[in-house]
Structure 1
Amino acid sequence: MVINEKFLFSAGAEVKQYRPGDTIFHDGATPYFYYQIIKGKVKLNNYNKEGKELIQKIVTDGESLGESLLFIGKPYPMDAVALEPCSIIKLCRNNFFSMLNVYPQLYFDLCKGLSDCLYYQYIMLQANSSQNPSERIMGVLEYLKTSKKDHAPFSYKIPFTRQQLASLTGLCVETAIRTIKNMEKRKLVMIKDRKIYF
Protein backbone atom coordinates (compact mmCIF):
# COMPACT_ATOMS: atom_id res chain seq x y z
CA MET A 1 0.00 0.00 0.00
CA VAL A 2 1.40 3.38 -0.95
CA ILE A 3 -0.55 5.51 1.57
CA ASN A 4 -2.57 4.16 4.48
CA GLU A 5 -6.25 4.40 3.53
CA LYS A 6 -7.22 6.10 6.81
CA PHE A 7 -5.22 9.19 5.80
CA LEU A 8 -6.84 9.26 2.37
CA PHE A 9 -10.37 8.99 3.78
CA SER A 10 -9.66 11.61 6.46
CA ALA A 11 -8.69 13.98 3.59
CA GLY A 12 -12.04 13.44 1.84
CA ALA A 13 -11.28 10.53 -0.50
CA GLU A 14 -14.11 8.49 -1.98
CA VAL A 15 -14.26 4.98 -3.37
CA LYS A 16 -15.25 4.52 -7.00
CA GLN A 17 -16.20 1.25 -8.67
CA TYR A 18 -15.02 0.44 -12.19
CA ARG A 19 -16.06 -2.39 -14.48
CA PRO A 20 -13.65 -4.23 -16.81
CA GLY A 21 -12.87 -1.94 -19.74
CA ASP A 22 -13.75 1.29 -17.89
CA THR A 23 -11.26 4.12 -18.32
CA ILE A 24 -10.00 5.67 -15.09
CA PHE A 25 -8.06 8.39 -16.92
CA HIS A 26 -6.94 8.80 -20.51
CA ASP A 27 -3.88 9.87 -22.44
CA GLY A 28 -3.72 13.66 -22.65
CA ALA A 29 -6.01 14.34 -19.67
CA THR A 30 -4.90 16.69 -16.88
CA PRO A 31 -4.24 14.88 -13.56
CA TYR A 32 -6.74 16.13 -10.97
CA PHE A 33 -6.91 13.08 -8.67
CA TYR A 34 -4.76 10.68 -6.68
CA TYR A 35 -5.83 7.07 -7.32
CA GLN A 36 -5.08 4.03 -5.15
CA ILE A 37 -6.45 0.57 -5.84
CA ILE A 38 -8.26 -1.21 -3.01
CA LYS A 39 -9.06 -4.26 -5.13
CA GLY A 40 -8.62 -5.06 -8.81
CA LYS A 41 -6.19 -4.74 -11.71
CA VAL A 42 -5.59 -1.73 -13.94
CA LYS A 43 -3.41 -1.52 -17.03
CA LEU A 44 -1.46 1.60 -17.89
CA ASN A 45 -1.20 1.55 -21.66
CA ASN A 46 -1.01 3.43 -24.92
CA TYR A 47 -1.01 2.63 -28.62
CA ASN A 48 1.61 3.21 -31.31
CA LYS A 49 0.82 4.72 -34.73
CA GLU A 50 0.02 1.27 -36.12
CA GLY A 51 -2.57 0.73 -33.36
CA LYS A 52 -0.52 -1.85 -31.45
CA GLU A 53 -1.08 -1.72 -27.71
CA LEU A 54 1.88 -1.29 -25.37
CA ILE A 55 1.15 -1.97 -21.72
CA GLN A 56 3.49 0.08 -19.57
CA LYS A 57 2.49 -1.58 -16.32
CA ILE A 58 -0.30 -3.52 -14.65
CA VAL A 59 -1.08 -2.23 -11.17
CA THR A 60 -3.08 -4.06 -8.54
CA ASP A 61 -4.27 -4.07 -4.89
CA GLY A 62 -2.63 -1.38 -2.76
CA GLU A 63 -0.81 0.31 -5.62
CA SER A 64 -1.38 3.84 -6.90
CA LEU A 65 -1.46 5.10 -10.47
CA GLY A 66 -0.35 8.30 -12.13
CA GLU A 67 0.56 10.03 -8.87
CA SER A 68 3.90 11.41 -10.07
CA LEU A 69 2.09 13.62 -12.58
CA LEU A 70 0.21 15.41 -9.78
CA PHE A 71 3.50 17.05 -8.81
CA ILE A 72 4.34 18.39 -12.26
CA GLY A 73 0.84 18.99 -13.64
CA LYS A 74 1.66 17.53 -17.05
CA PRO A 75 -0.99 15.52 -18.94
CA TYR A 76 -1.11 11.75 -18.62
CA PRO A 77 1.05 10.05 -21.28
CA MET A 78 -1.05 6.88 -21.03
CA ASP A 79 -4.52 5.49 -20.41
CA ALA A 80 -5.53 3.69 -17.22
CA VAL A 81 -8.10 0.96 -17.94
CA ALA A 82 -9.69 -1.51 -15.52
CA LEU A 83 -8.90 -5.14 -16.39
CA GLU A 84 -11.36 -6.55 -13.86
CA PRO A 85 -13.91 -5.13 -11.40
CA CYS A 86 -12.03 -2.51 -9.38
CA SER A 87 -12.57 -0.53 -6.18
CA ILE A 88 -10.35 2.53 -6.34
CA ILE A 89 -9.82 5.34 -3.84
CA LYS A 90 -9.99 8.74 -5.52
CA LEU A 91 -8.75 11.92 -3.83
CA CYS A 92 -8.74 15.34 -5.49
CA ARG A 93 -5.35 16.94 -6.09
CA ASN A 94 -5.83 19.89 -3.69
CA ASN A 95 -6.90 17.63 -0.82
CA PHE A 96 -4.02 15.28 -1.63
CA PHE A 97 -1.46 18.07 -1.19
CA SER A 98 -3.23 19.39 1.94
CA MET A 99 -3.04 15.87 3.41
CA LEU A 100 0.71 15.73 2.70
CA ASN A 101 1.17 19.10 4.44
CA VAL A 102 -0.74 17.89 7.51
CA TYR A 103 1.04 14.50 7.56
CA PRO A 104 4.55 15.12 6.16
CA GLN A 105 5.60 11.59 7.20
CA LEU A 106 3.51 10.34 4.25
CA TYR A 107 6.11 11.75 1.87
CA PHE A 108 8.36 8.82 2.79
CA ASP A 109 5.67 6.30 1.80
CA LEU A 110 5.04 8.21 -1.40
CA CYS A 111 8.76 8.40 -2.24
CA LYS A 112 9.04 4.65 -1.64
CA GLY A 113 6.15 4.02 -4.06
CA LEU A 114 7.61 6.35 -6.68
CA SER A 115 11.03 4.73 -6.29
CA ASP A 116 9.49 1.31 -6.89
CA CYS A 117 7.87 2.67 -10.09
CA LEU A 118 11.23 4.02 -11.27
CA TYR A 119 12.90 0.70 -10.49
CA TYR A 120 10.25 -1.09 -12.56
CA GLN A 121 10.82 1.34 -15.45
CA TYR A 122 14.59 0.75 -15.34
CA ILE A 123 14.14 -3.04 -15.32
CA MET A 124 11.63 -2.92 -18.19
CA LEU A 125 13.74 -0.51 -20.23
CA GLN A 126 16.74 -2.80 -19.85
CA ALA A 127 14.75 -5.97 -20.65
CA ASN A 128 12.85 -4.45 -23.58
CA SER A 129 16.02 -3.07 -25.16
CA SER A 130 17.03 -6.66 -25.90
CA GLN A 131 16.27 -8.12 -29.33
CA ASN A 132 15.86 -11.51 -27.65
CA PRO A 133 12.16 -12.18 -26.81
CA SER A 134 13.16 -14.60 -24.04
CA GLU A 135 15.19 -11.88 -22.29
CA ARG A 136 12.26 -9.47 -22.54
CA ILE A 137 9.84 -11.93 -20.95
CA MET A 138 12.40 -12.98 -18.30
CA GLY A 139 12.78 -9.31 -17.31
CA VAL A 140 9.07 -9.09 -16.51
CA LEU A 141 8.98 -12.45 -14.70
CA GLU A 142 12.06 -11.68 -12.60
CA TYR A 143 10.70 -8.27 -11.60
CA LEU A 144 7.33 -9.76 -10.60
CA LYS A 145 8.94 -12.48 -8.51
CA THR A 146 11.20 -10.08 -6.57
CA SER A 147 8.19 -8.89 -4.58
CA LYS A 148 7.38 -12.42 -3.40
CA LYS A 149 8.83 -14.19 -0.37
CA ASP A 150 9.14 -17.62 -2.01
CA HIS A 151 11.86 -17.59 -4.66
CA ALA A 152 11.89 -21.34 -5.27
CA PRO A 153 11.66 -22.41 -8.93
CA PHE A 154 8.07 -22.43 -10.27
CA SER A 155 6.65 -21.12 -6.97
CA TYR A 156 5.12 -18.01 -8.52
CA LYS A 157 2.01 -18.16 -10.71
CA ILE A 158 2.20 -15.35 -13.29
CA PRO A 159 -0.98 -13.23 -12.99
CA PHE A 160 -0.92 -12.13 -16.64
CA THR A 161 -2.21 -13.63 -19.86
CA ARG A 162 0.12 -14.31 -22.77
CA GLN A 163 -1.41 -11.32 -24.56
CA GLN A 164 -0.64 -9.08 -21.57
CA LEU A 165 2.96 -10.38 -21.41
CA ALA A 166 3.28 -9.63 -25.12
CA SER A 167 1.93 -6.10 -24.64
CA LEU A 168 4.23 -5.50 -21.65
CA THR A 169 7.29 -6.50 -23.67
CA GLY A 170 6.38 -5.03 -27.07
CA LEU A 171 6.16 -8.48 -28.67
CA CYS A 172 3.39 -9.85 -30.84
CA VAL A 173 1.31 -12.46 -29.04
CA GLU A 174 2.45 -15.27 -31.38
CA THR A 175 6.10 -14.54 -30.54
CA ALA A 176 5.29 -14.44 -26.81
CA ILE A 177 3.50 -17.81 -26.99
CA ARG A 178 6.35 -19.40 -28.96
CA THR A 179 8.95 -17.94 -26.60
CA ILE A 180 7.13 -19.14 -23.48
CA LYS A 181 6.89 -22.68 -24.93
CA ASN A 182 10.61 -22.56 -25.66
CA MET A 183 11.29 -21.30 -22.12
CA GLU A 184 9.29 -24.27 -20.80
CA LYS A 185 11.48 -26.68 -22.80
CA ARG A 186 14.54 -24.99 -21.31
CA LYS A 187 12.97 -25.41 -17.83
CA LEU A 188 12.89 -21.66 -17.18
CA VAL A 189 9.12 -21.73 -16.63
CA MET A 190 6.53 -24.41 -15.99
CA ILE A 191 3.10 -24.45 -17.63
CA LYS A 192 0.31 -26.14 -15.71
CA ASP A 193 -3.38 -25.88 -16.63
CA ARG A 194 -2.43 -23.15 -19.16
CA LYS A 195 -0.97 -21.03 -16.34
CA ILE A 196 2.69 -19.98 -16.30
CA TYR A 197 4.77 -20.62 -13.19
CA PHE A 198 8.18 -19.05 -12.63
Structure 2
Amino acid sequence: MQKVHAPRAASIPYSERLHASHWFVTLPETMREQMLAAAGLLSMQPGETLFRRGDPPCGLYFLLDGALTAGSTDARGKESLLTVIEPTTWFGEISLFDGLPCTHDVVAVGHALLLHMPQAALLRLLDAEPRCWRHFALLMAQKVRVVFRSTEAFSLLSASQRLAARLLWIAEGYGGMSVGLTRIGLTQERLASMLALSRQTTNQILKDLESQGIVQLLCGELRILDTERLRLAGNGHC
Protein backbone atom coordinates (compact mmCIF):
# COMPACT_ATOMS: atom_id res chain seq x y z
CA MET A 1 0.00 0.00 0.00
CA GLN A 2 1.17 3.49 -0.79
CA LYS A 3 1.12 5.89 2.14
CA VAL A 4 1.15 9.66 1.65
CA HIS A 5 1.35 11.83 4.75
CA ALA A 6 -1.28 14.55 4.91
CA PRO A 7 -0.42 17.07 7.64
CA ARG A 8 -3.18 19.53 6.83
CA ALA A 9 -6.91 19.01 6.35
CA ALA A 10 -6.87 21.17 3.25
CA SER A 11 -4.36 18.83 1.59
CA ILE A 12 -6.65 15.79 1.82
CA PRO A 13 -8.54 14.92 -1.37
CA TYR A 14 -12.25 14.34 -0.94
CA SER A 15 -12.35 16.65 2.08
CA GLU A 16 -16.08 16.96 1.44
CA ARG A 17 -16.36 13.30 2.44
CA LEU A 18 -14.90 14.11 5.84
CA HIS A 19 -17.35 16.92 6.35
CA ALA A 20 -20.19 14.60 5.31
CA SER A 21 -19.35 12.40 8.30
CA HIS A 22 -21.70 13.43 11.11
CA TRP A 23 -19.43 11.77 13.67
CA PHE A 24 -16.33 13.66 12.53
CA VAL A 25 -17.94 17.10 12.41
CA THR A 26 -19.23 16.68 15.98
CA LEU A 27 -15.67 16.30 17.31
CA PRO A 28 -14.11 19.36 18.93
CA GLU A 29 -12.28 21.42 16.32
CA THR A 30 -8.92 20.97 18.03
CA MET A 31 -9.33 17.19 18.03
CA ARG A 32 -10.24 17.19 14.33
CA GLU A 33 -7.15 19.22 13.48
CA GLN A 34 -4.84 17.04 15.56
CA MET A 35 -6.26 13.84 14.08
CA LEU A 36 -5.74 15.08 10.55
CA ALA A 37 -2.23 16.28 11.36
CA ALA A 38 -1.36 12.76 12.54
CA ALA A 39 -3.08 11.02 9.61
CA GLY A 40 -1.88 9.67 6.32
CA LEU A 41 -3.54 8.55 3.09
CA LEU A 42 -3.51 4.88 2.11
CA SER A 43 -4.06 3.82 -1.49
CA MET A 44 -5.16 0.19 -1.99
CA GLN A 45 -5.27 -2.01 -5.07
CA PRO A 46 -8.16 -4.41 -5.88
CA GLY A 47 -7.92 -7.54 -3.74
CA GLU A 48 -5.29 -6.05 -1.43
CA THR A 49 -5.60 -6.78 2.29
CA LEU A 50 -5.61 -3.88 4.74
CA PHE A 51 -5.34 -6.13 7.79
CA ARG A 52 -6.30 -9.63 8.87
CA ARG A 53 -8.02 -11.06 11.93
CA GLY A 54 -5.43 -11.42 14.67
CA ASP A 55 -3.17 -8.61 13.40
CA PRO A 56 -2.03 -6.10 16.05
CA PRO A 57 -4.20 -2.98 16.54
CA CYS A 58 -3.39 -0.49 13.82
CA GLY A 59 -5.53 2.57 14.53
CA LEU A 60 -8.58 4.22 13.03
CA TYR A 61 -9.51 4.31 9.35
CA PHE A 62 -11.89 6.42 7.28
CA LEU A 63 -12.87 5.21 3.82
CA LEU A 64 -12.74 8.11 1.36
CA ASP A 65 -13.29 6.24 -1.88
CA GLY A 66 -13.90 2.69 -3.10
CA ALA A 67 -15.22 -0.25 -1.10
CA LEU A 68 -13.85 -2.85 1.31
CA THR A 69 -15.14 -6.16 2.61
CA ALA A 70 -14.97 -7.15 6.28
CA GLY A 71 -15.16 -10.85 7.07
CA SER A 72 -13.08 -13.95 7.62
CA THR A 73 -11.99 -17.13 5.86
CA ASP A 74 -11.91 -20.56 7.49
CA ALA A 75 -9.24 -23.25 7.08
CA ARG A 76 -11.07 -24.62 4.02
CA GLY A 77 -11.01 -21.25 2.32
CA LYS A 78 -14.72 -20.58 2.81
CA GLU A 79 -15.49 -16.90 3.17
CA SER A 80 -17.81 -15.49 5.83
CA LEU A 81 -18.71 -11.93 4.87
CA LEU A 82 -19.78 -9.59 7.66
CA THR A 83 -20.33 -6.39 5.72
CA VAL A 84 -19.21 -4.18 2.86
CA ILE A 85 -17.58 -0.94 3.99
CA GLU A 86 -18.59 2.05 1.89
CA PRO A 87 -17.25 5.64 1.81
CA THR A 88 -17.65 7.87 4.88
CA THR A 89 -17.39 4.84 7.18
CA TRP A 90 -14.99 4.97 10.15
CA PHE A 91 -13.67 1.64 11.45
CA GLY A 92 -11.00 0.24 13.74
CA GLU A 93 -12.30 1.80 16.95
CA ILE A 94 -12.80 -1.53 18.77
CA SER A 95 -9.06 -2.19 19.05
CA LEU A 96 -8.58 1.44 20.06
CA PHE A 97 -10.60 0.69 23.21
CA ASP A 98 -9.38 -2.76 24.18
CA GLY A 99 -5.94 -2.90 22.56
CA LEU A 100 -6.69 -6.42 21.32
CA PRO A 101 -6.00 -7.79 17.82
CA CYS A 102 -8.12 -6.97 14.77
CA THR A 103 -11.45 -8.81 14.66
CA HIS A 104 -11.82 -9.41 10.90
CA ASP A 105 -10.07 -9.46 7.55
CA VAL A 106 -10.53 -6.22 5.61
CA VAL A 107 -9.89 -6.41 1.86
CA ALA A 108 -10.28 -3.90 -0.98
CA VAL A 109 -13.02 -4.73 -3.51
CA GLY A 110 -11.58 -2.35 -6.10
CA HIS A 111 -9.24 0.61 -5.86
CA ALA A 112 -9.70 2.28 -2.48
CA LEU A 113 -8.46 5.38 -0.72
CA LEU A 114 -8.43 5.65 3.06
CA LEU A 115 -7.40 8.08 5.74
CA HIS A 116 -5.42 6.32 8.47
CA MET A 117 -4.79 7.56 12.01
CA PRO A 118 -2.19 5.29 13.72
CA GLN A 119 -3.06 3.71 17.06
CA ALA A 120 -0.16 5.23 19.03
CA ALA A 121 -0.85 8.76 17.75
CA LEU A 122 -4.56 8.51 18.57
CA LEU A 123 -3.88 7.23 22.08
CA ARG A 124 -1.54 10.14 22.70
CA LEU A 125 -4.23 12.58 21.57
CA LEU A 126 -6.85 10.93 23.76
CA ASP A 127 -4.52 10.90 26.76
CA ALA A 128 -4.21 14.66 26.30
CA GLU A 129 -7.99 15.11 25.72
CA PRO A 130 -9.70 12.34 27.74
CA ARG A 131 -13.12 14.00 27.33
CA CYS A 132 -12.95 12.99 23.65
CA TRP A 133 -13.17 9.30 24.53
CA ARG A 134 -16.94 9.79 24.67
CA HIS A 135 -17.01 10.65 20.97
CA PHE A 136 -15.20 7.42 20.12
CA ALA A 137 -17.58 5.49 22.36
CA LEU A 138 -20.48 6.95 20.36
CA LEU A 139 -18.81 5.77 17.15
CA MET A 140 -18.65 2.24 18.52
CA ALA A 141 -22.22 2.46 19.82
CA GLN A 142 -23.43 3.09 16.25
CA LYS A 143 -21.90 -0.23 15.20
CA VAL A 144 -23.41 -2.07 18.18
CA ARG A 145 -26.88 -0.85 17.19
CA VAL A 146 -26.38 -2.23 13.67
CA VAL A 147 -25.22 -5.58 15.09
CA PHE A 148 -28.32 -5.79 17.32
CA ARG A 149 -30.55 -4.95 14.38
CA SER A 150 -28.87 -7.56 12.21
CA THR A 151 -29.13 -10.22 14.94
CA GLU A 152 -32.83 -9.48 15.35
CA ALA A 153 -33.35 -9.78 11.59
CA PHE A 154 -31.72 -13.22 11.56
CA SER A 155 -34.01 -14.36 14.37
CA LEU A 156 -37.33 -12.93 13.22
CA LEU A 157 -37.30 -12.39 9.45
CA SER A 158 -37.63 -14.82 6.57
CA ALA A 159 -34.80 -15.23 4.07
CA SER A 160 -36.45 -12.86 1.56
CA GLN A 161 -37.13 -10.25 4.27
CA ARG A 162 -33.54 -10.47 5.53
CA LEU A 163 -32.16 -9.94 2.05
CA ALA A 164 -34.44 -6.98 1.33
CA ALA A 165 -33.68 -5.44 4.73
CA ARG A 166 -29.91 -5.78 4.25
CA LEU A 167 -30.06 -4.16 0.82
CA LEU A 168 -32.09 -1.33 2.33
CA TRP A 169 -29.57 -0.85 5.15
CA ILE A 170 -26.76 -0.58 2.60
CA ALA A 171 -28.83 1.80 0.45
CA GLU A 172 -29.47 4.00 3.49
CA GLY A 173 -25.88 3.93 4.69
CA TYR A 174 -26.49 1.81 7.80
CA GLY A 175 -28.25 4.63 9.61
CA GLY A 176 -25.88 7.35 8.46
CA MET A 177 -22.54 5.56 9.01
CA SER A 178 -21.80 5.66 5.28
CA VAL A 179 -23.10 7.27 2.12
CA GLY A 180 -26.39 5.96 0.77
CA LEU A 181 -26.18 3.85 -2.38
CA THR A 182 -28.58 2.81 -5.10
CA ARG A 183 -25.92 0.82 -6.98
CA ILE A 184 -24.35 -1.86 -4.80
CA GLY A 185 -21.16 -3.64 -5.82
CA LEU A 186 -21.92 -7.08 -4.41
CA THR A 187 -21.86 -10.38 -6.24
CA GLN A 188 -24.65 -12.83 -5.43
CA GLU A 189 -22.08 -15.13 -3.79
CA ARG A 190 -20.96 -12.39 -1.40
CA LEU A 191 -24.50 -11.28 -0.64
CA ALA A 192 -25.39 -14.92 0.12
CA SER A 193 -22.36 -15.21 2.41
CA MET A 194 -23.33 -12.02 4.25
CA LEU A 195 -26.82 -13.41 4.95
CA ALA A 196 -25.86 -17.05 5.55
CA LEU A 197 -28.03 -18.13 2.61
CA SER A 198 -27.30 -20.44 -0.30
CA ARG A 199 -26.47 -18.84 -3.62
CA GLN A 200 -29.52 -20.54 -5.14
CA THR A 201 -31.86 -19.03 -2.53
CA THR A 202 -30.25 -15.61 -2.94
CA ASN A 203 -30.57 -15.78 -6.72
CA GLN A 204 -34.24 -16.79 -6.49
CA ILE A 205 -35.08 -13.90 -4.15
CA LEU A 206 -33.20 -11.37 -6.28
CA LYS A 207 -34.91 -12.61 -9.44
CA ASP A 208 -38.26 -12.15 -7.72
CA LEU A 209 -37.36 -8.60 -6.68
CA GLU A 210 -36.18 -7.88 -10.22
CA SER A 211 -39.44 -9.18 -11.72
CA GLN A 212 -41.31 -6.69 -9.54
CA GLY A 213 -39.14 -3.79 -10.69
CA ILE A 214 -37.58 -3.29 -7.25
CA VAL A 215 -33.98 -4.08 -8.22
CA GLN A 216 -32.00 -4.55 -11.41
CA LEU A 217 -29.36 -7.29 -11.54
CA LEU A 218 -26.11 -6.30 -13.26
CA CYS A 219 -22.75 -7.99 -13.71
CA GLY A 220 -21.20 -8.25 -10.25
CA GLU A 221 -23.57 -5.70 -8.73
CA LEU A 222 -27.19 -4.68 -8.44
CA ARG A 223 -29.14 -1.46 -8.70
CA ILE A 224 -32.00 -0.49 -6.41
CA LEU A 225 -34.86 0.94 -8.44
CA ASP A 226 -37.57 1.40 -5.80
CA THR A 227 -36.42 2.02 -2.22
CA GLU A 228 -39.94 2.24 -0.77
CA ARG A 229 -41.04 -1.08 -2.23
CA LEU A 230 -37.77 -2.61 -1.00
CA ARG A 231 -38.67 -1.34 2.47
CA LEU A 232 -42.07 -3.06 2.19
CA ALA A 233 -40.36 -6.27 1.06
CA GLY A 234 -38.15 -6.12 4.15
CA ASN A 235 -41.28 -5.81 6.28
CA GLY A 236 -42.96 -8.73 4.60
CA HIS A 237 -45.51 -6.70 2.61
CA CYS A 238 -44.29 -7.52 -0.88
Q: Same fold (TM over 0.5)?
A: yes
Q: How much does 1:119 deviate?
A: 1.7
TM superposition shift of 1:156: 6.1
Q: Which residue of 2 aligns with 1:179?
A: 205
Shift, 1:116, TM fit: 1.9
Alpha-carbon distance, 1:22 to partner: 0.8
Rounded Cα–Cα distance in structure 2 between residues aligned with 1:156 and 1:94: 34
Residue in structure 2 matched with residue 86 of structure 1 by the alignment: 112
Q: Does 1:21 align with 2:47?
A: yes
Asked if structure 2 preserves the Cα contact closer than 8 Å seen for 1:28 and 1:76, the reply is: yes
Shift of 1:171: 1.8
Alpha-carbon separation, structure 1, partners of 2:162 and 2:147 = 13
Distance (whole Å) between structure 1 residues aligned to residue 74 and residue 153 of structure 2: 19
Match of 2:195 in 1: 169
1:1-198 superposed matches below 5 A: 1=21, 2-3=23-24, 6-10=33-37, 12-48=38-74, 50-103=76-129, 106-129=132-155, 132-147=158-173, 157-161=182-186, 162-185=188-211, 187=212, 189-191=214-216, 195-197=222-224, 198=227
Number of aligned residue pairs: 191
TM-score, length-scaled by structure 1: 0.80
1:192 CA drift (Å):
6.4
* Pair 189,49 (structure 1): closer, same or farther in 2 beyond 3 Å: farther
- Equivalents in 2 of 1:130, 1:91: separation in Å? 38
Question: In the alignment, is the contact (CA less than 8 A) between 1:123 and 1:143 conserved in 2?
Answer: no
TM-score relative to the length of structure 2: 0.68
State, as a whole percentage, how many aligned pairs show the same letter.
Answer: 18
Deviations 1:45-81 (A, max 9, x none): 1124553212111112121222212211121221010
What CA distance in whole angstroms lies between the structure 2 residues aligned with 1:84 and 1:175? 27
Specify whether residues 38 and 69 from structure 1 end up closer, same or farther in structure 2 by C-alpha distance, changes over 3 A only. Answer: same
Q: Which has the higher helix share?
A: 2
In structure 2, the CA distance between the partners of 1:148 and 1:13, relative to structure 1 (3 Å rule), is closer
Contact 1:136 1:169 in 2 (8 A): yes
Q: Find the aligned partners of 2:181 and 2:108 in 1 and give their Cα distance.
A: 23
Please state how far the C-alpha of 1:193 moved relative to its aligned partner: 5.6
| Secondary structure in structure 1 of the residue aligned to 2:24 | coil
For 1:80, what is the secondary structure of its paired residue?
strand
TM-superposed CA distance for 1:184, in Å, is 3.7
The DSSP-based 3-state class of the residue aligned with 1:90 is strand
Cα contact 1:38–1:89 (8 A) shared by 2: yes
The residue matched to 2:57 in structure 1 has which SS?
coil
Q: What is the RMSD computed on CA atoms of the aligned residues?
A: 2.9
1:135 deviates by 2.3
Amino acid at match of 2:191: L
The CA distance in 1 between the partners of 2:62 and 2:173, in whole Å, is 19
| Bigger RCO (CA 8 Å, 6+ sep) | 1
Structure 2, gaps ≥5 residues long: 1-20, 26-31, 228-238
